[in-house]
Amino acid sequence: AEHPTEFELITAAAFLHFLERRCDIVVLETGLGGELDASNVIGTPELAVLTAMGMDHAAILGPTLRDVAAAKAGIIKAGGTVVSRGGCPEADEVFRQACRERGAALAELDLSRLKVRRLGLEGSEFGFAPWENLALPLAGAYQAENAALALTAIESLMKKGWNIPEGALRQGLAAVRWPGRFEILGRDPVFLLDGAHNAHGMRAAVESLRAFFPGRKLAFLLGVMADKDAGEMVELLAPLAERAFVVRPGSPRAMAPEALCALLAERGVEAWPRDSVEEGMEAALAAAGKDGVACALGSLYLCGAVRSAWLKRH
């Protein structure tokens, strides 16, 4: 028999934990795709949520968006209830077809209901009809849309009889903390930490940086995994980068800093390798200067190390 993978062991341990805690409901996120993921051994879930489509893990699930969508559609079960982010025609058709075939009810996010009133580094204020004046303490221009998807999911649960009072909904949004997702660690200079670890995440991070710091050049601390599309990530980042300091995240899958520096240099970004996260962080902060912006991103493996280095410094 094959030995279970680390992910399979963690998933089994999580199921046992949920059982022992007698959870009313569990948010169970797939690790890779859906259909063949360890988390998908469950029966028909109370609700299946399909988030924004990206090409992560395309080497395993791909090569096309339809292939990735087909793998994700594996969480759609017979007679289930499904909420989809939508907005990607090829994938949407796959999801609709799967729902038709399996007799599942589908609700797609309706962005015409979303009105963002204010967006700042402290977070956003928005309305998602019929709810008005919702507050979300997350920076990141895309977070109101993520919240709208969560609210669509909550609506589906309410229709199924779950008692979720409006006060709980408002309080839940207002209390959200998301370490490593466009997280502001410092102010002079502004120092941001983001776990963007693939092209999809990098695009979202770059759009938010553009929205908050229009026309500004930034100093970056970078480290990426060798199995991610580093070329596309660098291409997205290059127009914003004044200079970059590159480190090796703590994983055997990490890309060599010299290789990443070479990719950056090809796109006209001055880049230097640094031996440690501490050294790289100090170099990025110094390069940003008191009134500038420094940003650490490229891998979730980098996040913990950057936060530790930052806390040590303070």
**Tens of pLDDT along 19-60?**
999 999 999 999 887 898 999 999 999 999 999 876 555 566
Confidence of residue 119 (pLDDT cuts 50, 70, 90): confident
**In angstroms, how far is CA 106 from the centroid of its own chain?**
23
pLDDT of residue 57: 53
CB 301 within 8 Å of CB 251: yes
Task: Using the CB atoms, write b or e for 153-184: b if 16+ within 10 Å.
Answer: bbebbeeeeeeeeeeebeeebeeeeeebbbbe
Instruction: Using the structure block, give the residue that is written with the tokens 């996040």.
Output: 303
pLDDT exceeding 90 applies to what percent of the chain? 71
Task: Using the CB atoms, write b or e for 210-223: b if 16+ within 10 Å.
Answer: eebbeeeebbbbbb
The secondary structure of the chain in percent helix, strand, coil, rounded to multiples of 5, reads 45, 20, 35
Helix, coil or strand: residue 302: helix
pLDDT exceeding 70 applies to what percent of the chain? 97
Confidence of residue 76 (pLDDT cuts 50, 70, 90): very high
What does the CA dihedral 155, 159, 160, 166 come to, rounded to 10 degrees? 50
Q: Which amino acid is at 102?
A: R
Q: Which residues contact 209 (CB under 8 A, 6 or more apart)?
A: 192, 218, 240, 293, 295
Please list the residues that pair with 114 across neighbouring strands: 128
Over residues 254-306, the pLDDT tens digits come to: 899 999 999 999 999 999 999 999 999 999 999 999 899 999 998 888 888 99
pLDDT beyond 90 at 217: no
Q: Which amino acid is at 222?
A: L
Look at residues 122, 149, 115, 150 and name the one whose alpha carbon lies nearest to residue 136: 122
Please report the sign of the dihedral spanned by the C-alpha atoms of residue 207, residue 211, residue 212, residue 217.
positive
Domain residue limits, the chain: 6-174, 183-313
Identify the CATH class of 6-174.
alpha beta
**Token pair for residue 151?**
């609210």
Write down the pTM of the prediction.
0.80
Identify the CATH class of 183-313.
alpha beta
Kindly state the helix (H) or strand (E) to which residue 293 belongs, with its residue range: strand 293-297
Are 6-174 and 183-313 equal in CATH topology? no
